[in-house]
Amino acid sequence: MTVPGFIMINLLVGATVAFGARVQIRTLQRPVFYNRYFGALMLLELPLLVPAGIYFNGFYPDWSWMYLLDTRGLPIGINIMVVATYPIAGVMGYLVGFFSARAKSDWVTLMFMVFLVMGIVGFFVVGGDQFGSLGTYEQYHRNVGLEKLWNTSLLPSIVLTWCGVGICWAYMIYRFAKEGRLASPNHG
């Protein structure tokens, strides 16, 4: 996944995890970072999303940066900081969901998620040329020797990554939402 796309998706992951656990978050007696919902988010971010970000940034650096930077001269520290922003973005999304659940303002998280989805869709529409082409920075800017995404080994990597992450993400939200329905006073 590309760097801007990965940051937006991590924001969405954090917000949806907190939204799925909103009923439980309202009654938590523990601090924001010392509860099982935040722990579950970190178990999704650190062993799954961060290695995926490292993989895409390491093996497809120019594509990962959407050909905005010539990555040949990019210091390794920049790449480390960028990969560190992925779980930080997840935490920021989680904080939006956590504090809006505490304030019983689910609409804040819903609107945040709607705007993120719109941003991700807009990102793919506007950046479709960068996202759909694989090559180096020079190849992209000279429009020579680029390969289409579906003709490369990158496409199966993206599909497999998002199938695995998507299944884990969906199951986590499902479990938290189910737990919340069972714990709610209206459950019969």
- Predicted confidence (pLDDT) per residue in 124-175, tens digit: 899 888 889 999 999 999 989 899 988 999 999 999 999 999 999 999 999 9
Q: Tell me the three state secondary structure of residue 3.
A: helix
188 assigned to some structural domain: no
Write out pLDDT tens, residues 17-33.
999 999 999 999 888 99
12 assigned to some structural domain: yes
Count of CB atoms within 10 A of residue 138's CB? Answer: 13
Domain containing residue 142: 3-183
pLDDT band (50, 70, 90) for residue 187: low
- Rounded to 10 deg, the angle between the 50-59 and 76-102 helix axes is 150
Of 67, 42, 25, 48, the C-alpha closest to 183 is 25
Q: What is the pTM of this model?
A: 0.91
Count of structural domains within the chain: 1
